Structure 1
């Protein structure tokens, strides 16, 4: 039976030091409660006293405590040549009223002499005095040995003495920090073995336990954490999505499944592990970062299959191309369609769209052929499933003609000399619905906006439900820049009816034509989502 590992999340402190992240008080509380629900034992809340927000955070959690997690206050050792009991910084830590405190001190003699500008002996006294004082006030102390691995490489004798000072003062945990993120996994193993040799008491259960806090500057933070655990470390510190200063910290979303599912360590309950993807996305949304789609385990692409051979095998047995069951971490399998697709992709989507299609149907081959031809022209149905469904329905003769375009014109009046680039565009469109003809005109803040409005105004007279539709996103990509203004243009349009979203695509060398294709299919697909799609015909006078 492998020992229990203690997970320590520092997203709210170390993670928030990432460039571009600024958490409000409510953001911090939301993330903390999600981490608590997921079963993380230790949640580092910040440095009380360093800023008013962190003080308020600890006050709020005193009023409404977390359900199971220990919230941890973070601080540095006392200042040189001061008494810990007289250091205002440590008084702020005590005011946070947390049972656990993490305090960091210098392990690298370079930092002692260059950053602190003090002696090596005084640094040892700072570590011992600060920890002893906090313990005397009823706190349990996690000692973060900052720059531990660099310190050990440059002066192993002194680095060991810093740990011995923390042990003598009563620290409960000794956490080895790879602060610069420059250590490799084999070095982690060798150095931790050196610690156990130098301080054999650490093998005794009554002595402090070791932890690891790796940064990702060499891209090996997760590997370093795994190496440390396999060397006897029982606490792992990291952040959700690996957020942190410079290249970030060990990503708990990658680390936890590897430790628990692959190596068999006891980290979380299974139901809590299944919240991992949800937690990753909640945190990315809260910090206003786009989720990393290719993140292991929790990314949207982690269990996405595209190539026909892969899809065929996965449909028979997911183990053929999946290393774990996606639901174990709260993720799900996805099949995408592209020019690399095979019959299995087509059958998967037919089932997804509620269409009856068998492997040996001629329509199956026709759909696949049409897919490859259109993708060769520049279509990308992977990003526009709604258009792919419409294409499938056309071939299966299940796409009723809802309206017919008779023509459109778009006019833009821009006067560069007067610097008036804000003139409205005007679109005129002719459509017929069930043999009724309509001419409509609309203005917009650009040609696509005007075209979209004119089409909606015309069709709403026949299909009132279109009034609920909205164009929510519009993306343009030039497919071959070397062709200049003759290049093919791909337009993706995202639409919504207030409850669902769907994406459609258009491709042409004319941006208005490509836009019209995508806009029209967006409206058509929205109508197909409705229970009734027959037009409400009233005489036009």
Structure 2
């Protein structure tokens, strides 16, 4: 088969970024979008500047039908993207006119329709229980009908790569049926996600050479190659790429929109988004994760919080000279930041860079740097970790600089009692004795656990003297039991995240006793807030 796209096929728009988060991405285990969620996702994607947003399958799923109805009623005003309805062709042995599913696609009022059609002979014969002639007629009839009704049509050729390997002529006949009837793009789908980049690129290039069609790509991530496969397809000539936000999707997921776009823009030089939208990639990725109620992947390429985080001292030494020596791009291009992590691997350069990030100037002070490095490594060897506790690290660095005022209070003693009552209720009671503002204060409070009780008692003791304490809340509390040294008592590491509703900061405490570890982290949290209040320094540390 050798032909060119038929006259009149609109090929003017040079490259498509097509998002299918609301349909394919919603098939991920654990995701359940409400209609309001779907509208919010669509608005974020449109703000980002993607070309097409697939909203779901109207007629098959009530939520999707409602989504399209509300979008058509004016609840979704898109500035950049075209809304796409997804659905199937007419059924075998029927007509388009009597097919309710095709009618639902029209009633969605979406300007673009993506039709899914099987392109693997085995699926046609075993799953559809028809022959290739009828399968092609199903495609041809449905595309022609929708085009005649003023819809732009894309074809998702399901199981294309497996089908092409088994019977290439059958797979190409399905594509030809769609394009001849007026479909704009023939999307080659790696439905089972089993392809690898070199073989996939060969197939894409061969299909384009044999047909002359405009070709798209849709990759699942079952071989952890969805992004690489998508990029290989683009380099082989595909001009339409389908992705999902953060790679959401069933099984191992789909090609990640943010990694694909990041690579297209920064590596292949393709301006596939408005220039002002590229620095929004990280923000939008995290916002979409919040809507999906899935924790952001900190190690996600381009947009993860650890994507430009450096731990090794060797890296930090080079970054101090030129950040691009160990960053593949400037992180701000995609809206991210570089971070230097301070651990037992840290050297002087790591601490100097981290100090600069925290607003602590250690440049030109080798003695202080050496002392700080020794202190960090000593504490890390005992189980402390400053990677996620910037506030505790800042306190340590300022103490080495002798740039810290005295602590906001001094502990005399504390005591925690656990009371298991007759009715089965378990209550903790804490008593603290502290010196604050030259006064000895004793306070007692109850809580639903020892840390809660300690925090409540400490607040009661300090609040008359430190009114800013009323702004501070415990936002998160994490405990890890460290068993790195068999034969010794376990050590507990506690991370406390605090907030004053304007910023967040995290502190760490380590001890063989979980209550003492928690106390150390709580004290650091208040010391850090007190330091900020005294100095008027702004900014958040996580």
TM interval, short-chain normalised: over 0.9
C-alpha spacing 1:396/1:70, structure 2 compared with 1 (3 Å): same
Match of residue 445, structure 2, among 439, 442, 454 = 442
Residue 282 (structure 1) aligns with: 287
CA deviation after TM superposition for structure 1 residue 89, in Å: 0.7
| Mapping for residues 344-363 of structure 1, pairs under 5 Å | 344-363=349-368
Query: Is the 8 Å Cα contact of residues 347 and 359 (structure 1) preserved in structure 2?
Result: no
Q: Secondary structure at the match of 1:424?
A: strand
- Determine which of 261, 277, 281 is the counterpart of 2:266: 261
Whether 2:112 is the aligned partner of 1:107: answer no
Q: Contact (CA 8 Å) 1:430, 1:440: kept in 2 or not?
A: yes
Matched ranges for 1:65-104 at <5 A: 65-104=77-116
Q: Unpaired segments of 5 or more residues in structure 2? A: 1-12, 537-542
**Deviation (angstroms), 1:219:** 1.0
Q: 2:399 — aligned with what?
A: 394
Counterpart residue number, 1:341:
346
User: Is the 8 Å Cα contact of residues 108 and 151 (structure 1) preserved in structure 2?
Assistant: yes
CA contact (8 A) 2:87 2:115 kept: yes
Residues 410-425 of structure 1: matches in 2 within 5 Å?
410-414=416-420, 420=424, 422-425=425-428
SS of the residue aligned with 2:127? helix
User: Per-residue CA shift, 1:435-488, capped at 9, x if unaligned?
Assistant: 321111111112221111111111112212212211111111111177589211
Name which of 311, 315, 323 aligns with 2:328.
Answer: 323
Moved more, 486-495 or 269-278: 269-278
Is 2:165 the partner of 1:153? Answer: yes
Match of 1:251 among 252, 256, 269: 256
Per-residue CA deviations over 1:163-191 (Å, capped at 9, x if unaligned) read 12112222111111110011111221222
Structure 1 spans left out of the alignment, 5+ residues: 203-207, 534-541
Q: Secondary structure at the match of 1:50?
A: coil
The 5 A counterparts of 1:50-69 are: 50-62=60-72, 63=74, 64-69=76-81
Q: State the secondary structure of the residue aligned to 1:319.
A: helix
Whether the aligned pair in 2 keeps the contact of 1:305 and 1:335 (CA below 8 Å) is yes
CA distance in 2 between partners of 1:365 and 1:532 (Å): 26
Q: CA deviation at 1:158?
A: 1.1
SS for the counterpart of 2:387 is: helix
Residue 29 of structure 1: which of 3, 22, 39 is its match? 39
Question: Which residue of the partner structure matches residue 278 of structure 2?
Answer: 273
Distance, in Å, in 1 between the alignment partners of 2:115 and 2:374 is 64
Change (3 A) 1:116 1:391: same
User: SS at 2:522's partner residue?
Assistant: helix
2:373 to 368, 377, 380: 368
Corresponding residue for residue 203 of structure 2: 191
Helix, strand or coil: the match of 1:275?
helix
Does the CA-based 8 Å contact 1:4-1:265 persist in structure 2?
no
Match in the other structure for 2:306:
301
Conservation of the 8 A alpha-carbon contact between 2:113 and 2:154: yes
Distance in 1 between the 2:531 and 2:281 partners?
Answer: 35
Secondary structure of 1:86's match? Answer: coil
Q: Point out the more displaced range, 428-437 or 87-96.
A: 428-437
CA contact (8 A) 1:335 1:348 kept: yes
Post-superposition shift, 1:222?
1.3
**What is the RMSD of the two structures over their aligned residues, measured on CA atoms?**
1.8
